[in-house]
Amino acid sequence: MTNVDLLIKNARVYNSYTKTFNNVDVTVKDGNFYWIGVNLPDIVAERTIDLKGFSIIPGLVDAHMHIESSMATPTNFGRAAVKFGTTTVIADAHEIANVAGINGLSEFMRQPSCISVFYAIPSSVPSTTPAMETTGGIIGQDEVATLLNDPKIICLGEAMNFKGITSQPQSLIRKIIKDCRNIRPTMPLEGHAPKVSGKDLADFINSGITSDHTFQTPSSLIEKITNGMFIEIQQKSLSTEIVKTIIEHQFYEHVAQVTDDVMADDLRSGHLNRLVEQTIKFGMAPEEAIYLATYTPARRMGLWDRGSIAPGRIADFVVLSDVDNFVIEDVFLHGNAVTDIVAPDANEGSSFDSTIADSVHVPVLTESDLLIKTAMQRDEVAVNTVQISATGTFTKRGQVSLPVINGQVQWQENNLSLLMVQNRYSGHGELAFGFVENGVKGHGAIGATWAHDHHNLMIMGTDIPSMRRLGYQNSNEIMSFSTLSLLVSPAIKISDKGLFDVKTQQSIPMFVK
């Protein structure tokens, strides 16, 4: 007789190795899948579940995401995501590292979660250099050496400093990559390579980085995969054309689905399951779509113990009543139903040091602080602008002529928004300004310290009295606004040090000379 904790009968069981569903029995012992087969003999089970023809698949694995984007702790994120089938995530917590350094990261990593949370080393803190942006922490070689000893760390997080990666052999990021390859030679090195192709792509991959999760087109997908990159497809890249390209080129082994950033309101209605569902609707067979959200991300991250329903693998699994429409009926962690082990309204579990909870130190602004003045003795000045795309997070550089009265630039009546970044770390509140086209609609202002990746205080508005106290329109308002300060996302962005050209990393003056 063979004693097991759980016997699952009458289920259609997904096999990751053949990418098929099969009518077999499944046993779970000590939290892991044990014996799987047809009519298993002499099984004595503590519990037996009859799934009556429902299907089971491995728990979903999200290989690249940022918990902080959901405005949640790992504890509350896990409670929200698990009901949608996500049982393992690899979190790149570079947001909290930019704000509070390795101490903040350590605090974040020690927070409990019902799901399995592994972490990436934040590779770009700051995302560029201290000369271009002020952060509350720096992850250097000493910090990386410490993190490499932590078993929760399983990859190098998205390397973003393109210039440092491709053309500066002595840059911090190149040193970090070298340390990772020496100490953990099999560890995945994750990348951030938007609109990078040709020789630039060759230089990027040559550094040792072998993945990209940024926006893809069919041509970029083909170029990057055929050059050896693993591609992580997030929502903004998912389209009929991308799915068709994966199918036609049989790219299944080189692709995984990831969420990257999921806003808190979106997390209430779905997580990685949404991408699987959409991929199926765009024409991919369910068996292949499931593969890209379970087996390939687990394999990419070296997690041999999950991503499949097989002996010795962790018994995290999802029960589906309808595979074609990806309808989830139940989720199990280590062989136990989530509804039995996770209290949906529980508040216990998370606690942070007070220095992290109180980390914004800025003087109060006055209206006079926000007046834009010029020493140029003329009636009109030309200014460089940030043009925001109506969709996504990309920007481009523009130019507008503005009238000047008594040395004060008259921008309010020219369909522009004033963009301000204030240093939150020094206590002195140093200010930088820029002008934005396609910003706030109407009169008002928006602001946040959620400003990638330096997370200084950023405010954008059309009305000076409102800049501090709404009307911004975009396909993704929060991310579009917060990435106006992301100095590694094309093409022109802002920090507390001013405006910068992302590719050249050169400062852009407000006034055109």
| Residues 105-132, mean pLDDT to the nearest whole number | 94
Query: Are 2 and 44 spatial neighbours (Cβ–Cβ below 8 Å)?
Result: yes
427: confidence class by pLDDT, cuts 50, 70, 90: very high
Instruction: Give the closest residue to 56 by CA, choosing from 333, 277, 317.
Output: 317
- pLDDT grade for 23, boundaries at 50, 70 and 90: very high
The residue type of 341 is I
Query: Mean pLDDT across the chain, nearest whole number?
Result: 93
Whether domain 58-304 has CATH 3.30.420.40: the reply is: no
Mean pLDDT, rounded, for 470-498: 82
pLDDT at 403 over 80: yes
Which tens digits make up the pLDDT trace of 128-138?
A: 889 999 999 99
* pLDDT band with cut points at 50, 70 and 90 for residue 472: low
What pLDDT, on the 0 to 100 scale, is given for residue 393?
77
Residue 193 · residue 232 · CB < 8 Å: no
Considering the chain, what percentage of its residues have pLDDT values greater than 90? 83
Q: What is the pLDDT of residue 345?
A: 57
- Mean pLDDT within 401-418: 93
CATH 3.20.20.140 residue ranges of the chain are 58-304
pLDDT at 474: 61
Confidence at residue 470, expressed as pLDDT on a 0 to 100 scale? 46
Evaluate whether 319 touches 330 at the Cβ level (below 8 Å). yes
* pLDDT tens string 343-390: 655 555 567 887 787 889 999 999 999 999 998 888 999 999 999 987
Cβ neighbors of 226 (< 8 A, separation 6 or more) are none
The predicted-structure confidence for 139-180, as pLDDT tens digits, reads as follows 999 999 999 999 999 999 999 889 999 999 999 999 999 999
> What pLDDT is attached to residue 146?
97
pLDDT digits (tens, 9 = 90+) for 200-240: 999 999 999 999 999 999 999 999 999 999 999 999 999 99
Here the contacts of 330-339 (C-beta below 8 Å, separation 24 or greater) are 331/59, 331/82, 331/83, 331/85, 331/87, 332/59, 333/59, 333/82, 333/87, 333/114, 333/115, 334/31, 334/32, 335/5, 335/6, 335/28, 335/31, 335/32, 338/82, 338/83, 338/114
Residue 121 per-residue DSSP state: E
What's the pLDDT at 342? 74
pLDDT at 471 over 70: no
Give the Cα separation of 124 and 221 in Å (integer): 24
